[in-house]
Amino acid sequence: MRRPGRRSFRFLVTALATMPQETAKDHLNVLRKSLEQSTQWTSGVLDVRGEDLTLFYNYGEGEREARSLNFENATNQHLEELATACQPATFGRGKEDVLDENYRKAGKLDCTNFAASLDVGTLQIVDAISPDLLDGRGDADNKIIRAELYKLNVYGPGSFFKSHKDTPRGEEMIGSLVIVLPTKHDGGALSLSHGKQACTFDSAADLAEKKTSIAYVAFFSDVMHAVEKVTSGYRVTLTYNLFLVDRPSSRLVPARQPSTAEAACEAALRALVADPTFLRRGGILGFGLMHQYPIPRGPKDPQTLNHVLSILKGADARIYGVASRVGLEATLHLVYDTDDGEGYGRYVGAAEVVDLEPIGYDEYWGAAKEAIEKAGETLWVCDATEDLDDEDAWDDPEQLLERTSLHWVTKLTKINRAASAYIAYGNEASLDHYYGDAALFVRFPEAAGREP
Ligand SMILES: O=C(O)CCC(=O)C(=O)O
Ligand SMILES: [Fe+2]
């Protein structure tokens, strides 16, 4: 599909690339900054109709009765009854659902026990959050977000939920959507944080005096969040799991304009490709992953690194999408640091988790290290803006030739880590591990073969 404004954008890129005062360092800074501006959450307030605010729910154990209320005019007594119908809310700890009122004090109804008239599809809430959550995805035209109702929660006076991440339910789950209904309450702000970014979603303030509005917030699964204590009234929420799914072919594809950050990211990457002094011999731009993914955790794990490329989020999705558009190969690799503590180490990039079991008992202490170095590509961590290559080549030309230059644009992170176990030598045999951290590699061919 032809994108509007494409030609003028090309022109801009060419103009940028030929401006003499811009150096590779400047472009790398723009690239790095464009990745910092990624969205981890998005929120808003929406006016709805009174009839969107009806709730039916099961009341009582055993012989249940159906009750209903409308959040536009729910009295304190109505809300108290709703709170009584709830069970204490559990939360995921490790692989279990646990009840711990020091950590989470709230009531919940599973979605088999209530029906809400509010429809996130009709109200276009999913359409409202999608551009932010899909921002930067190269395949955004082919993917949509599906919201699946998960629970209703009631936070009465004294309720709270300490800092946590939501348990992903399935691989395609990318985040959560919380809708706060317009009931009068104080406290209960939701604080969100991810890396260095943080914000507070104060729905009590947003909804004050509003009887037929709802407040919503959507965030990625690896965002830490907490509900502050509700000091008075009832805070009622509907939570949804958000899944990234293929767009049904019958749905129209809306024209998508790249965001400013995405356009800047693309322009900077194109400018680096066009700079013949940058990574002259070719090499890799490395990007530490900003989000957590279900990567394979060990050599026997049937998950593949490759499938993660289709579920990248935020800044990770942005650089992957932009690189593909610029025509550069982008892959996920595990980075191993085989430093033995005495400086005799190498960085190795491997396309899958290295299996160290076949080496058996590592009598010769370097066997595990050697196995890793054989399994991947040896990397030369360098500053690609300086022409170090030649100097180093004088020292050890052969070594240099067998290594691939790697320049980290954003730091390697350790949130997506795979472990390879091996039996190590010592006064007793003990189990030891090498760790690989997943990162995005964008590969530059040598300058002579690059098409600007
Ligand atoms: O109610 C909220 O604002 C968030 C609740 C929450 O974090 C959860 O249900 O996991
Ligand atoms: Fe949560």
What is the dihedral angle through the alpha carbons of 13, 18, 24, 27, rounded to the nearest 10 degrees?
-30
Q: What is the pLDDT of residue 2?
A: 39
Concatenated DSSP letters of 369-420: HHHHHHHSEEEEE--TTS-HHHHHHHH-HHHHHTSEEEEEEE---SSSEEEE
Residues with CB under 6 A from ligand 1: 153, 161, 166, 178, 190, 225, 227, 237, 239
Nearest CA residue ID for atom 3, ligand 1: 190
pLDDT in tens, 318-351: 999 999 999 999 999 999 998 766 666 789 999 9
DSSP SS3 for 164: strand
pLDDT, residue 1, reads 38
Whether the Cβ atoms of residue 265 and residue 424 lie closer than 8 Å to each other: no
Question: How many angstroms is it from 164 CA to the middle of ligand 2?
Answer: 6
pLDDT of residue 400: 58
How far does the centroid of ligand 1 lie from the alpha carbon of residue 166, in Å? 8
- The neighbour count for residue 359, using CB atoms within 10 Å, is 15
The predicted complex's ipTM stands at 0.98
**Nearest-ligand number for the alpha carbon of 91:** 1
**CA nearest 48: which of 132, 151, 125, 152?**
125
Residues contacting residue 451 through CB under 8 Å, at least 6 positions apart: 273, 327
d(CA 287, CA 438): 9
Which ligand is located closest to the Cα atom of residue 239? 1
Where do the domains of the chain lie?
A: 41-246, 276-449
β-sheet bridge partners, residue 226: 191
Query: Which CATH fold would you assign to the domain 41-246?
Result: Jelly Rolls (2.60.120)
Atom of ligand 1 nearest to the CA of 150: 9
Cα(117) to centroid(ligand 2), Å: 23
The whole-angstrom separation of Cα 35 and Cα 265 is 7
Q: Determine the atom of ligand 1 nearest the C-alpha atom of 217.
A: 3
Residue 244 Cα to ligand 2 middle (Å)? 18
Rounded to the nearest 10 degrees, how much is the dihedral formed by the CA atoms of 40, 317, 248, 132? 30
Q: Name residues of the chain where pLDDT drops below 70.
A: 1-21, 140, 250-256, 340-344, 361-365, 387-401, 425-427, 452
DSSP 8-state class, residue 204: H
pLDDT at 380: 86
Total residue count of the chain as it appears in this document: 452
The ligand 1 atom nearest the CA atom of 151: 9
What CA–CA distance (Å, rounded) separates 120 from 127?
Answer: 9
